[in-house]
Structure 1
Amino acid sequence: MECVVSLEGLASSQHGQVKYAAAFIDEHIQDIRLENEQLTIIHESPKGNEAIESQVRRLIERFSHGDFGFKENILFEHKVDTPYEGDIIAELVERKIIKVLEPGLFIFREPFSSLMRFLDYSFVTKIANRFTGITEESYPAVIHADTLNKTNHFTSFPEHIHFLTHLREDLDIIENFSQTIRDAGGWKQEDALDLNTSMPKPKFTMNPSTCYHCYEGLQNETLEGDGLVVTAISKCHRFESRNHTDFGRLLDFSMREIIFVGKPDFVKENRLRSIEYLKELAVEWNVDSMLEIANDPFFTNDFQVKASFQRNQEMKYELRLTIPHVKKSIACSSVNFHSNTFGTAFNINMGKRKAVTGCVGFGIERWAFAFLAQYGLEESAWPEAFREQYHAWQQKSL
């Protein structure tokens, strides 16, 4: 079935938000298109078109409250006439450099996998290591649900969460599960388990953001001096439904972060330094990019309040790299200020006050995709500085 809903009257800057959120309104949706102020939804929902349209209109109402609009506020631009305009994803698949397991879930092979390692190395050596006293930590890809609850992730981004559970510690259940799979000739998703009887309620989820473990690790501590700076890379996981077909929107991805925890001035000054370092890197590598004020895609009824607060306080900046083939840009790095939200949630103290926090994130796969989308796989076409640094890293890694 095809359901067409007009977005006329809704600010055009919010059309993309509605399209993104619409992917979550029904599990039978097959495709969503946004054209000429109309949202077209292809689906096989037993609820029918009327119910789908009703849900879309609920979203339109959510995103249209108040007079807050998503006007671009660009702080920096580096415009480049890049040489490659092809479909880099299609080329990578054709050359078997990436293997698509399903939308948003890839296997990366050489040279893409090497490019990812080089990018992470560069973010550490060219940006992270410029902060005095920085230390590196290693985090698991799994996070306790109680920890995630303290970050308000369950109420701000409930649609993203991957829950983890297991078979109950019950011999009959375990043996019955194994025998059922054996009798069926293997695992079949349609023969779903009775989750209520076979599995306990989840205690863990996949971690959606690298920095959460840093705050968890500092829980109930009192920090000395002005604060601390930590860097870490971990696998992050966010379920984004049909949006995984969008360029660079992965189900499982690598996120390098630089995390600031401490006094307000310490965090704010380091955050400003990180913005300058990002701008320098964009120019040095000659990537077509811009830095703008942004907001998180909150999936809540108070979306407008939260998004407006973020933008008005300039709590989130995004470095976006252009994807010539689709004539759009994607966020590859973000610079965030959380005030004392996480210091309070995790009881991290600076003397008698709660610590404030901020972080800089680098989406490793997104940087690699965006760079190749602008310059292609032929290294001779790459910017000279980038190419020389990449070859020097390769020699050092031998």
Structure 2
Amino acid sequence: MECIISLERLAPSQHGQVKYASAFVDETIEDITLEDGTLRIVHHSPKGNEGIEAQVNRLIDRFSKGDFGFKESILFENKGPKPYNGDIIAELAERKIIKVLEPGLFIFREPFSSLMRFMDYAFVTKVAGRFDVKEEHYPAVIHSETLNKTNHFTSFPEHIHFLTHLREDLDVIEAFSQSVRDLGGWRLSDPLSLDETMPKPKFTMNPSTCYHCYEGLQDEVLEGDGVVVSAISKCHRFESKNHSDFGRLLDFSMREIIFVGKPDFVKENRLKSMEYLKELAAEWEMDSFMEIANDPFFTNDFQTKASFQRNQEMKYELRLTIPYLDKSIACSSVNFHSNTFGNAFNIKMGKRPAVTGCVGFGIERWAFAFLSQFGLNEADWPAAFREQYEAWKQKSL
């Protein structure tokens, strides 16, 4: 079945966010397209078109609630040469440089894997290294209680990958093993009672690198003006049919630089990091721009939260152009959280809660965007980037 829904009640700037959120209204949805202000949803839901339309209209009501308006501003732009205009995902897959296991889940091979490692090295040396930074290493899983303190369960519940295990019960473990053996192997369609065989999840996959930093500083009183921490970790976000969009990965690598301390310390370092990002984009001749942005809150008060973020300029995104799609994707974000996490984790500067901010680099997205602009032929890469990449390869041998 195909359900067609007009988005005329919404501003054009909100159409993409409604399309994104609509992927979560029914698990039978097979495809969603947006064209000329109209959503086309292919599905086989027992609710029929009326049921799908009713769910999407709930989202439209949510996104159109109130007259808040969005403050929009581009902080800087860099025009790059963009010599390549091919479908880079298709070329990488055809040349077996990436293996697509399913939408959003890839295996990366050379030279893409080397490009990722080089870019992370560059982010550390060219941006993080310009601060008095401490390197940390984080796990890919996080306590559910920690995630609860960040309000992730209420702001982005659709993203969460829960982790659990078979109950510590010999009968349950042996019965599960025997049932799989009897059926000839594991099948996704096989019935499995989570309540009977698995406990409530104590852990989830980590959706963001910086959460572990705040967890690690819990109940501490920091000295001086604050601390700067850098770490890279695997992050995981479930995005339903949106994983078919360019750059939306189920499992991805995120380098972050995290500022925790006094308000002026965090704000000043955040501004410096934006300048360093601007310098890097220009040095690598990346076609890009930085703009005020908001998180894709999945809540009834979306408009209030999103407008507050934009009007207070709490989130900026560096977006890199994808020429063959004639669009851009967010590859870095620069965030200010005020004292939200300082309060949540009881991190103090003297007697006052610390404030926090962070700069994030989506490693795979940066690599995909770079190759989408310059292709796989290194002779077409910008001279500065090529020289730095070759020097890094020699150093890494």
Shorter-chain TM-score bucket reads over 0.9
Partner Cα distance (2:16, 2:73) in 1: 17
Partner Cα distance (2:344, 2:369) in 1: 35
CA contact (8 A) 1:291 1:319 kept: yes
Q: Could you tell me which residue of structure 2 aligns to residue 112 of structure 1?
A: 112
Q: SS state of the match for residue 219, structure 1?
A: coil
Q: Could you tell me which residue of structure 1 aligns to residue 335 of structure 2?
A: 336
Q: RMSD between aligned alpha carbons?
A: 0.7
Q: Could you tell me which residue of structure 1 aligns to residue 16 of structure 2?
A: 16
> How much has 1:70 moved relative to structure 2?
4.2
Alignment of 1:267-346 (within 5 A): 267-346=266-345
Partner Cα distance (2:4, 2:81) in 1: 37
CA contact (8 A) 1:14 1:69 kept: no
Q: Could you tell me which residue of structure 2 aligns to residue 147 of structure 1?
A: 146
> How much has 1:318 moved relative to structure 2?
0.3
> How much has 1:115 moved relative to structure 2?
0.1
- Deviations along 1:70-126, whole A, 9 cap, x unmatched? 464101000123100000000000000000011000000000000000000000011
- The one-letter code matched in structure 1 to 2:65 is H
Partner Cα distance (1:152, 1:62) in 2: 19
> How much has 1:67 moved relative to structure 2?
2.2
Q: Could you tell me which residue of structure 2 aligns to residue 248 of structure 1?
A: 247
Partner Cα distance (2:339, 2:72) in 1: 27
Q: Could you tell me which residue of structure 1 aligns to residue 64 of structure 2?
A: 64
Partner Cα distance (2:350, 2:150) in 1: 22
Q: SS state of the match for residue 367, structure 1?
A: helix
Structure 1 pair 32–71 and aligned structure 2 pair: CA distance change class (3 A): farther
Residues paired across the two proteins, number? 397
- The one-letter code matched in structure 2 to 1:115 is L
Partner Cα distance (2:68, 2:83) in 1: 38
TM-score (norm 2): 0.99
CA contact (8 A) 1:13 1:71 kept: no
- The one-letter code matched in structure 2 to 1:94 is E
Q: Could you tell me which residue of structure 2 aligns to residue 81 of structure 1?
A: 81
Partner Cα distance (1:52, 1:96) in 2: 38
CA contact (8 A) 2:322 2:372 kept: yes
Partner Cα distance (1:97, 1:347) in 2: 45
Q: SS state of the match for residue 221, structure 2?
A: coil
Q: Could you tell me which residue of structure 1 aligns to residue 363 of structure 2?
A: 364
Structure 1 pair 52–244 and aligned structure 2 pair: CA distance change class (3 A): same
TM-score (norm 1): 0.99
Q: Could you tell me which residue of structure 2 aligns to residue 4 of structure 1?
A: 4
Gaps of at least 5 residues in structure 1 are none
Gaps of at least 5 residues in structure 2 are none
Partner Cα distance (1:377, 1:28) in 2: 37
Does residue 1:52 correspond to 2:62, yes or no?
A: no
Partner Cα distance (1:13, 1:71) in 2: 11
Partner Cα distance (1:164, 1:60) in 2: 32
